[in-house]
Every structure is written in C-alpha cells, then in structure tokens.
Amino acid sequence: MSNIIFEFEDVLPKEDQNKIKNILYGHNFPWYYNEDPTFSRKVSKRGTTFSSQIYSEKYTSPHINTFIPIAQSCCNKLNVIDTEIFNIRSFLHIKNPKFLFNRRDELHIDNQFPHVVIIYYVNDADGPTEIVDDNKKIIKQIIPKQGKCVIFDGKLYHRSTHPKKHNRCIINFNLTLK
C-alpha cells in the first residue's frame, strides 16, 4: 500500500453513522480510562482518554456487526477484496478547553508487522489525526468529521490530538491484506 493516504467521507449512510454514534455515546457501551491512549503502561498528562476493545483474537464485542460494515465499505472503495481484520478499538478523547500545552499523543505505529490502518470518525471534532513522514514532518492532518475514514499503510507513524471544543471519538481498525 506504500505511503498513500486515502480519505473518504460518508462511508456509511447517515442513518448508520448515527446508529454507531448512539451506541458509542450511549449508556451501555464499555469505556475504560487510559492514563495514556498510545502506550498502555505509560502515564501521560496529555488529556483524558477512554478506550474499548471491539475485536481481537481474544475478544469480540456484541456490537461487532454494527462496526464491520465500516471496514467493508472502505475496502470496497479501494477495490480490496481479500483482507483480515485482526484488531478493532475505539477511543474517546474528552474535550478540555484549559488543556493548552502539547495536545498531541506520541507518534506511533499500531503494529510492527505489515498492516493497514482505517480510522473512522464517529463525530465532528477539533482534534485532528496527524500522519508523518520518516523525518517526523506532518504529511497529512485529518480533521474528524462524522462518517469520514482515513486509510493508510500501518508503517506510517501517526498520532491523535486532543480536542478543546468537542469530544473526539474514533474507531481504529487494523487489518492485513492477503
């Protein structure tokens, strides 16, 4: 997939976008507090973040069938047929208008082996995703917009930024191409 970054808006119909948003912002979705959203054993002062595992080798959320069409739609748009999803997580960054210093999470890659990342934006927010080149220079900044997806090679370093005005909610898919 190389260093190409794809962005698609409205990857699902509005009705489905709202259904996903209602699930993630509802009272029954399991959110877990993270000291640091990027590295689980680290303590960060960057902001308040919650996460939830949706799918992994050891766990499958009861909501999986609501979220899978996001990845399917993105793959269809790229004419990619043979894939395997191995991880799906959701993240919720809580807005903090007083949090003014370095509002960026640490640059990271999700996995050390070849994979593709799909980030789905659950809502409009002001905390962009940043993707950088080998020199750590920002090559793409994606503003969260409900229904938008960004798809990129998993070897590209990226990070989230924390919002000041609106909570920022995303679903992160990791998949391999067969």
**Per-residue pLDDT at 67:** 97
Single-letter code of the amino acid located at 154? G
**Per-residue pLDDT at 47:** 62
d(CA 64, CA 59): 10
- Mean pLDDT per block of 10 residues along the chain (178 residues) reads 86 98 96 69 63 95 96 95 94 78 79 95 95 92 97 94 90 94
Residue 82, Ramachandran bin (φ over 0: left; ψ between -120 and 50: alpha; else beta): beta
The single residue listed with the structure tokens 């409900």 is 146
5-25+46-177 fold: Jelly Rolls (2.60.120)
**Per-residue pLDDT at 36:** 56
What residue spans define the domains of the chain? 5-25+46-177
- Angle, to 10 degrees, between the axis of helix 64-77 and the axis of helix 14-24? 140
pTM of the model: 0.92
Measuring CA to CA, which residue among 153, 154, 152, 130 is closest to residue 143? 130
d(CA 23, CA 26): 5
Task: Give the rounded distance of the alpha carbon of 107 from its chain centre.
Answer: 14
**Per-residue pLDDT at 150:** 98
